[in-house]
Structure 1
Amino acid sequence: MAFAYSGFLNIQFIIMIDLDQQLKNPVWYALKETHKKFAIEFDGVQFYDPEICTFGAFFEEEKTAKASSEYSKKCDKFFFVSEDQTPLIDNNKVRLEKKIDGCQMVLNTLTDVLITEQIVLLDETHLDEIYDLIWMVMPGFYQKRTFNMGKYFGVFKDGKLVSIAGQRMQTNLFIEVSAVVTHPNYTRKGLSKQLISHVTKDILKENKTPILHTNKGNLAISIYEKLGYKLTRDMNWWLYNKK
């Protein structure tokens, strides 16, 4: 029995190592696993199909200049996502618009939240409403087909979609909570808090680790922490434009 128990601990340790490794480069591993059908590769640099998402990831910095030039033929703007590496670019083909100093948060222990709203699993019929709401509140980071990356949940008021939360990057070990937005007329009513809790529970049902990304200094970080998420590492977003 002791041997079997020791073996179980070793398996658990291996899983923990794999998860930590994936979280250091979440875009890369999502495109290698759950989202590999959306992957476009240029010499070992991974990108999402730009109709789905405009994120790229890498391990070898010296390959990003050529790869980003090729990818820029498919979309006008795109991101490289990296914990601590700096992409190289061909300044004749693309230019850096800005670097977003971000951070990654991982669920520690989920805090119980009283759900008072009717939370609806959204489908293809809601695509336009989701897109319009996200672009009104948080323009520039969402493609209409980003919906295909995971589940989206919403709250309706008077027949109108007013708050959503969804799932974005994911692998066999984690799923990212994303697109948490609420119409300005319906903020401070606890809608986002309930939706984040609901999406988090849905991820846990799949025996995966819930994570999320946000900007450093975002006021929402305190809300995420109250829900049981913990800051774990920097995760930077390099936004490039095609010249």
Structure 2
Amino acid sequence: MTTTVDRELDNPVLHSLMGPHRGVALRDGRAARFHPEVAPFMAVPDGADEEDWRGLARLTRGVPGLIFRPAADLPTDWKILHRIEGVQMVGLKTRAWTAEDISLLGPTDIPEMRELAAVAEPGPFGARTAETGTYFGIRKQGRLVAMAGERFQTDHWVEVSAVCTHPDWRGRGYATKLVAALADHVRGRGKEPFGHVVGANTSALRLYEELGCQVRRSVQATEAVPLDSAPPM
């Protein structure tokens, strides 16, 4: 039997945009996407009909988006730009951690966060991505060298995202510490953490596995745009 929790994890972007993240969402009927400066993700309901896809097309405004659906599930009047294979992971077990190096990041830290993301490449990180939730960071020698934060949020789940460490500071356990701190922060609000990992990112997979995570399902994120607004080849 499919539960509410299952439905949320099966379509976390939609549940996020229609729920806790409706303040940073663009919506058209049952279709929704994040404001492009927040995140590139978009969604339609399971069993979407033609009007849902038309609504999503209107929301793109010519800006491609990422949707957690196989490319084969998209209508024929959408142009496929890129496919990303990955997994959804749950069951995070918190490790002991100390707060001495961890700081709460805020609006004044965004330039540093974006600079770190550009070097460490944790995934899409725009000018307003930090609005999706709490972000923790670690500073060394006066610079931000590691961070992790919250992205998709549903009624029961919070995605741990943007986990990254500057290449010069890797191998010190900073990512593990930040993920553990975020997991405790999420559970302190009565929700459960989960994550998405690109299949080719073996270091991230290893991190989540070391923290006790298990693969719930495979996912495919497809970057696409309606044909009538697709950029020229």
Confirm or deny a common fold (TM above 0.5). Answer: yes
The residue that corresponds to 2:159 in the other structure is 176
Aligned position for 2:84 = 100
TM-score, scaled to structure 2: 0.87
What's the CA shift for 1:89? 5.1
Given candidates 191, 196, 199, the residue that maps to 1:216 is 199
Gap runs ≥5 in structure 2: none
Q: Which range is displaced more, 65-74 or 46-55?
A: 65-74
Which of the residues 13, 35, 39 maps onto 1:49?
35
Q: Say whether the 8 Å CA contact 2:71–2:83 is kept in structure 1.
A: no
1:229 maps to which residue?
213
Find the partner of 2:177 among 180, 194, 212.
Answer: 194
TM-score by length of 1: 0.84
The answer to whether structure 1 residue 72 and structure 2 residue 60 are counterparts is yes
Q: In the alignment, which residue of structure 2 is the partner of 1:5?
A: none
Asked if structure 2 preserves the Cα contact closer than 8 Å seen for 1:117 and 1:191, the reply is no
Q: Which of 63-72 and 161-170 deviates more?
A: 63-72
Question: What's the offset of the Cα at 1:176?
Answer: 0.5
Conserved? CA contact 2:122–2:162, under 8 Å? no
Identify the residue that residue 31 of structure 1 maps to in structure 2.
17
Alignment of 1:40 onto 2:23 = no
Paired letter, 1:235: V
For residue 90 of structure 1, report the CA deviation from its aligned partner. 2.5
Indicate the residue corresponding to 1:10 in structure 2. Answer: none
Q: CA deviation at 1:151?
A: 0.4
Structure 1: gaps spanning 5 or more residues:
1-12
Shift of 1:65: 4.8
Corresponding residue number in structure 2 for 1:20: 6
Q: What CA deviation, in whole Å up to 9, does each residue of 1:24-48 have, x standing for no partner?
A: 0000101111011222223422111
Computing the radius of gyration over CA atoms, which structure comes out larger, 1 or 2? 1
CA shift in 2, pair 1:138/1:65, >3 Å: same
3-state DSSP of counterpart to 1:142:
coil
Aligned length: 224
CA distance in 2, matches of 1:158, 1:25: 41
Distance in 1 (alpha carbons) for counterparts of 2:67 and 2:22: 17
Against the structure 1 CA distance between its residues 140 and 203, is the aligned structure 2 distance closer, same or farther, given a 3 Å change threshold?
Answer: closer
* Residue aligning to 1:112: 95
Instruction: Tell me if structure 2 keeps the 8 A contact 1:99–1:239.
Output: yes
Identical positions, percent: 29
Runs (4+) of structure 1 exceeding 6 A deviation are none
Amino acid at match of 2:66: F
CA contact (8 A) 1:83 1:233 kept: no
CA contact (8 A) 1:154 1:162 kept: yes
Q: Residues 115 and 84 (structure 1 numbering): CA distance in 2 closer, same or farther, change over 3 Å?
A: farther
Q: Deviations over 1:32-78 (max 9, x none)?
A: 11011222223422111212212111121644653443233263x31
Corresponding residue to 2:74 among 87, 98, 101: 87
Return the letter of the residue paired with 1:124: P
Post-superposition Cα deviations, 1:85-112, rounded to whole Å, max 9, x if no partner, equal 7222535xxx32211112100125x142
Deviation at 1:136, TM superposition (A): 1.8
Question: What is the rounded CA distance, in whole Å, between the counterparts of 1:85 and 1:210 in structure 2?
Answer: 29
For residue 188 of structure 1, give the secondary structure of its aligned residue in structure 2. coil
Q: Secondary structure at the match of 2:80?
A: strand
Which letter does structure 2 place at the counterpart of 1:56?
A: M
